[in-house]
Amino acid sequence: MLEKFRFLTSGESHGKCLTAIIEGLPAGLNIDTNFINSELKRRQQGYGRGGRMAIEADTAEITSGVRFGKTIGSPVTLVICNKDYENWQKIMSINPEDTNDEKSFTAYRPGHADYAGSIKYNHKDLRNVLERSSARKTAIEVAVGAVAKLFLKHYNIECTSKILQIGNGKTEEEFHKEIDKAKEAGDTLGGKFEITYTNLPVGLGSYVHWDRGIDGKIAQAVMSIPAVKSVSIGDGEDAYKISGKDFHDEIYCENGNITRNTNHAGGIEGGMTNGEDLIVKAVMKPIPTLKTPLATVDSKNMAETTAHFERSDTCAVEACAVVAEARIACVLANEIMLKYPTDYIE
Ligand code: EPS
């Protein structure tokens, strides 16, 4: 769907590294590696994260496309090495002679990709599904999103995000209490967050075809983050209970400029940005890997059992918001490139 700012990522959760190749960046863009790494650090933080984050200190190495701090127009390659690979070399080996079942498992985890993924790719060992379906891959996506954010900064487009709710908690103190409670019970928690992008030009996206609406592109980008189950724009999730008179943002003129007193539309009308702040809300479901495992079936004999437990987080909503910022940055960078095509920037 991203026509101009394109990227592919690869890498397994406990494999050697995560890689991305980004294509479409103009030459001359300043690439601040400290910024990329600070975004990676943000993704690793948040109350409720688990053991893996204590092992990793994610940093991205740039191996192509940048010279003396600026893009040169060629594809940019980013690499994040998995520190934990040291402990998984034999288990994740690419050599057939190393075949072993040390970390194999066959009891599907409800809510995860295990069941459908094993049928789809004909895997007996669910480890083969877990490794790529893991949210670990969002690390490299955040690195790509950081590059997109650097591109957006060139146009003074900035981003903020906040957590709206975790469990029943609506303040930071309550979030922590809810997470502590869930952890004690061997349970997990999801939550709701909001991303805001400011200073967007009018007219990113289009109404002329169903696949060119920027709201649809953003929804796809955020919905496909592991564990995200709902995405809405502005007050979209409450729109069914508000009448037209109260929902739509009336238009005024101040010193020759269009102004509004409200932004229920979240900055998008007719599939296009309208110059107001872009507001995206999303809900992450509770992480499906549970210490107190749920009922399931063992694929090797179809016997009823309990799900496989893999080390996991209690809550990763803060990290999820950082990932959503990154995914939206990629959509916006693509739209800017479509609207203002250029081979270089100064
Ligand atoms: C994650 C890395 C993973 C998990 C988590 C997110 O590492 P590991 O499996 O070694 O603990 O901590 O992913 C999930 C819980 C999941 O269900 O996908 C990361 O880097 O964010």
Q: What is the pLDDT along the chain (346 residues), one digit of tens a residue?
A: 579 999 999 999 999 999 999 999 999 999 999 999 999 999 999 999 999 999 999 999 999 999 999 999 999 999 999 999 999 999 999 999 999 999 999 999 999 999 999 999 999 999 999 999 999 999 999 999 999 999 999 999 999 999 999 999 999 999 999 999 999 999 999 999 999 999 999 999 999 999 999 999 999 999 999 999 999 999 999 999 999 999 999 999 999 999 999 999 999 999 999 999 999 999 999 999 888 889 999 999 999 999 988 788 999 999 999 999 999 999 999 999 999 999 999 9
Ligand 1: centre distance to CA 286 (Å): 13
Q: Is 264 in the pocket of ligand 1 (CB under 6 A)?
A: no
Regarding the beta carbon of 49 and ligand 1, being less than 6 Å apart is answered: no
Of 148, 271, 127, nearest to 206 (Cα)? 271
Q: Which residues pair with 253 in a beta bridge?
A: 258
Which residues have C-beta within 8 Å of that of residue 180, sequence separation ≥ 6? none
Query: What does the DSSP 8-state code read for residue 247?
Result: H
CB of 114 shorter than 6 A to ligand 1: no
Q: Residue 251's Cα: distance from chain center in Å?
A: 33
**Atom 13 (ligand 1) nearest CA:** 135
Q: What is the residue with the minimal CA distance to atom 17 of ligand 1? A: 134
Give residue 98's pLDDT.
97
The rounded Å distance from CA 31 to ligand 1 centre is 28
Compute, in angstroms, the gap from residue 51 CA to the centroid of ligand 1.
9
Determine if ligand 1 sits within 6 Å of the CB of residue 274: no
d(CA 238, CA 264): 10
Q: Is the CB of 134 under 6 A from ligand 1?
A: yes
Instruction: Choose one of 313, 320, 323 to mutate for the ligand 1 pocket test, by most ligand atoms within 8 angstroms of C-beta.
Output: 313
Which domains does the chain show, CATH number per domain? Answer: 6-339 (3.60.150.10)
Torsion (CA) 331, 334, 335, 338 in degrees, nearest 10: -160
What pLDDT was estimated at residue 312?
85
Output the pLDDT for position 291.
87
DSSP-derived secondary structure letter, 4: S
13 CB under 6 A from ligand 1?
Answer: yes
Which atom of ligand 1 lies at the shortest distance from residue 50's CA?
12
So what's the pLDDT on residue 18?
Answer: 98
**Residue 325 has what pLDDT?**
98
51 Cα nearest atom in ligand 1: 11
Judge if the beta carbon of residue 332 lies within 6 A of ligand 1: no
Q: Tell me, what's the pLDDT at 21?
A: 98
User: Would you state the pLDDT for residue 208?
Assistant: 97
pLDDT at 308: 85
Contact 113, 133 (CB under 8 A): yes
Joined together, the tokens standing for residue 76 give 């940019």
CA–CA distance, 160 with 232 (Å, rounded to integer): 17
φ, ψ of residue 147 in degrees (nearest 5): -65, -40
Using the atom order of ligand 1, give the atom closest to the CA of residue 134.
Answer: 18
The pLDDT score that the predictor gives to residue 96 is 97
Ligand 1 atom with the smallest distance to the CA of 130 is 18
The finding on whether 312 has its CB within 6 A of some atom of ligand 1 is: yes
CA 52 to ligand 1: nearest atom = 11
The DSSP line for 269-292 is ETTEE-SSPEEEEEEEPPPS--SS
Q: CB under 8 Å to 210, separation ≥6 — which residues?
A: 216
- Alpha carbon of residue 182 to chain centroid: 23
What gap in Å lies between CA 333 and CA 345, rounded to an integer?
Answer: 14
CA-CA distance, 237 to 220, in Å (whole number)?
Answer: 16
Expressed in angstroms and rounded, the spacing between residue 285 Cα and the centre of ligand 1 is 15
Query: Does residue 287 have its Cβ closer than 6 Å to ligand 1?
Result: yes
Q: Is 188 in the pocket of ligand 1 (CB under 6 A)?
A: no
Give the pLDDT score at 1. Answer: 59
Q: Does the beta carbon of 52 lie inside 6 Å of ligand 1?
A: yes
Q: Looking at residue 310, what is its pLDDT? A: 78
Instruction: State if residue 313 touches ligand 1 by the CB under 6 angstroms criterion.
Output: yes
Phi, psi of 255 (to 5 degrees): 50, 40
Q: Ligand 1 within 6 A of 111 CB?
A: no
Count how many Cα atoms sit within 13 Å of the Cα of residue 151 in the half-sphere of its side chain.
Answer: 32
